[in-house]
Structure 1
């Protein structure tokens, strides 16, 4: 893998992770690095799911693939908030 592939993967992960956080209501108390990791994983898994469904390569923008990735990122952020965010709660 070339450095441009790694950089573009991180940029896509940042965008997908941020959109996943925006979909969820309220404030998520997780660090930004965790959001990026969730975004990268959601982008990779979403692309694999879209390829399995046969919608990964379409003309123009792949909106279905993009929607799958954002939904997976929102699910990942939600799980991370439940696991990571709950430990830092002060009463």
Structure 2
């Protein structure tokens, strides 16, 4: 379980490095998005038959980073919209 959390943090940090621009996300959001990306990557790898969901493999890692980049983008878009609504008021 601790390894899963560390992997999620690493994947979340890599996703933030890969995504251009400055993200307004804290360490907790990065961890949660990385964990979500890890689950997605592990699930895809499992569905393709390359390993178990909790098993570290190259395909699962790559898919996890890509999924985390997408999740960071979505989170960034949501937070930008909420900031814009606050500015309008």
TM-score by length of 1: 0.79
CA distance in 2, matches of 1:71, 1:40: 13
CA distance in 1, matches of 2:31, 2:80: 16
Name which of 35, 38, 41 aligns with 1:40: 35
Give 5+ residue unaligned stretches, structure 1: none
CA distance in 1, matches of 2:64, 2:24: 21
Equivalent residue, structure 2, for 1:49: 44
Hey, which bits of structure 1, 4+ residues long, moved more than 4 A? none
TM-score by length of 2: 0.81
CA-to-aligned-CA distance 1:4-49 (integer Å, 9 cap, x gap): x2x2221111001001111111111122211110101110121011
Name which of 3, 10, 15 aligns with 2:5: 10
Q: 1:55 offset after TM fit, Å?
A: 2.1
Give 5+ residue unaligned stretches, structure 2: none
Q: RMSD of aligned C-alpha atoms?
A: 1.9
